[in-house]
Amino acid sequence: MAHLLTAGGVVGVVASAHVRRSEPTQLEVVGSLVGVSGVGLSLDDFALPVPAPAPAPAPELGTFVVVGSSMNAGKTTTAAALIRGWARAGLRVGAGKVTGSGSGKDRWMYEDAGAGEIVDFLDFGMASTFGYPLTRLAQTMVGIRDTLVARGASVVVLEIADGLLQAETRGLAERLAGFADGAVLAVADGLSAVAGAQIMGEVGVPVRVVSGLVTASPLAAREAAAATGLAVLSPAELIAGGALDLLGEHAAAVPA
């Protein structure tokens, strides 16, 4: 027996789950999909090529990476708000999910927010990034950004799944210096904002703004701002102008 792991159709075996989760849907595997040669097919057979070692041009207006304190801290909502804020200003926005498990909802949120180009780990041959070596994930992160730029994106937002204490997420965060123009931290509470900002500082990547579930509580948002010294902006505030403010000196290139 196998289990249905995601709404996107990823199949595996549930080893553990949150106590609020119901029992997973059980599946009976009766065969695998094969090509004309009779060999089983894999997403790797359709993956985009790994980028060449030579550095590709960075996006004109910057690369911003959304990281979070945990799952369900508001990372995808925050990324979608950045996309909408930039798209409303007339920018061609590239959006990508670096890690996670295959499910359409994140891509659809990016699309609904106005992303002109969308690329994620699925495009690089992984139904789920769990268990892949960090080197492969780092190459994928660069490949997503480079592909978005090659397709015409002037500003890029990338989302890394899970929280900063998760091994793969922390490993990728350690590779953001020199790659990202800044991080946007999505958290559920003020204490997580303090810890997240500290972790990102340790890896040399400045947190430009805090957002996420914490902004649902005005008191919690004020506490986070006071404790970190960072701007704490709700998704609505990012859409209304906060996303453009992140561009800093590049904002002069935004169409009037």
Left, alpha or beta for 49 (phi > 0: left; psi -120 to 50: alpha)? beta
pTM of the model: 0.90
Model pLDDT, residue 54: 62
CATH T-level topology, domain 63-253: Rossmann fold (3.40.50)
Instruction: List, in sequence order, every residue forming a beta bridge with 210; answer none if it has no partner.
Output: 185, 232
Give the phi and the psi of residue 182 in degrees, each rounded to 5.
165, 160
Model pLDDT, residue 32: 82
What are the domain boundaries of the chain?
1-31, 63-253
Model pLDDT, residue 52: 67
Side chain identity, residue 204 = G
Q: List average pLDDT for each run of 10 residues in the chain, which is 256 residues long.
A: 78 83 85 85 83 75 96 95 97 96 89 97 92 94 95 97 95 96 96 97 95 97 97 98 86 56
Contact, 81 vs 239, CB < 8 A? yes
Contact, 199 vs 164, CB < 8 A? yes
206-235 core/surface letters (b: 16 or more CB in 10 A; e: else): ebbbbbbbbbeeeebbebbbeebebbbbbb
